[in-house]
Amino acid sequence: MAEFTTIMARDGHEFQAYLAASCGKPRGAVLVIQEIFGVNAHIRSVTEGFAAEGYTAIAPALFDRIRRGIELGYSPPELEEGAGYMKQLKLEDTLKDLAAAVAVVRNSGRVGSVGYCWGGAMSYVAASELPIACAVVYYGRVANYLDRRPKCPVMYHFGTQDRSIPLSDVDKVQAAHPQGVFHQYEAGHGFNCEPRETYNPQAAALARERTLQFFAHYLAGAKQQPS
């Protein structure tokens, strides 16, 4: 079962979050952090996918700070629109919303985060600022946040053909966080997102497999070390 529910941040801001329950006893919880396109059909599908793997999954609608119900597609005008919304948000407010979402699912066990694009960078920030057990970053501009240091294990997925994140930036992240688990794919930005032209099913499948192994170890307590 998955549906939108209303939750509240500690500053009193009420916002929507897409909450997907696991089948049976949860193995832990996953905080799914949106791209700049809102909690659209793709992010809802990703959230449901983690629930199907046995995790309570939640995707907070971070753009509700601006206006409720923002859902965008992937055309150039929508990309520009989403970037504009992102720039209006204050990082401290986004962290409040992420913290509220973590609090909602904490009774399911250990919580991990996974974010895509802008959400990937926010997943890194969450690893540095929030009480989570691990974090996964999909093609996030983490180089902008290297003044922060993760307090939990982090796995990174980057595309070698990503025009918006040069490999020199990936090198900076790896130098700043050598303890991280880094993976690169012969793919472009957004390779995990089916509606995008840059979708790469092989890279997406391999990254998902690695992500699930990572969560199984750090959230569900599987003995196999993630690779």
pLDDT for residue 222 is more than 90: no
pLDDT at 81: 98
Q: pLDDT category, 224, cuts 50, 70, 90? A: low
Q: pLDDT category, 221, cuts 50, 70, 90? A: confident
Share of the chain above pLDDT 90, in %: 95
Q: What is the pLDDT of residues 141-191, one digit of tens each?
A: 999 999 999 999 999 999 999 999 999 999 999 999 999 999 999 999 999
pLDDT for residue 214 is more than 70: yes
- Mean pLDDT of all residues belonging to the chain: 96
pLDDT at 191: 97
pLDDT at 108: 97
pLDDT for residue 217 is more than 80: yes
Q: What is the pLDDT of residues 60-82, one digit of tens each?
A: 999 999 999 999 999 999 999 99
Q: Are 193 and 219 in contact (CB under 8 A)?
A: no
pLDDT at 106: 97
Q: Are 174 and 180 in contact (CB under 8 A)?
A: yes
Q: Average pLDDT in the 36-43 region?
A: 98
Q: Are 137 and 120 in contact (CB under 8 A)?
A: yes
Q: DSSP secondary-structure letter at 197?
A: T
Query: Which fold would CATH assign to domain 2-218?
Result: Rossmann fold (3.40.50)
Token code pair at residue 194: 């089916």
pLDDT at 204: 98
Per DSSP, what are the bridge partners of residue 137? Answer: 115, 156
Q: At what angle do helices 91-105 and 118-129 cross, to 10 degrees?
A: 70
SS3 content of the chain, % helix, strand, coil (to 5): 40, 20, 40
Q: What is the pLDDT of residues 103-155, one digit of tens each?
A: 999 999 999 999 999 999 999 999 999 999 999 999 999 999 999 999 999 99
Of 68, 69, 44, 70, the closest CA to residue 58 belongs to 44
Q: Enumerate the active-site residues.
A: 117, 162, 189
pLDDT at 103: 98
Strands 14-20 and 29-33: unpaired
Q: How many helices and strands, by DSSP H and E, does the chain display?
A: 6, 8
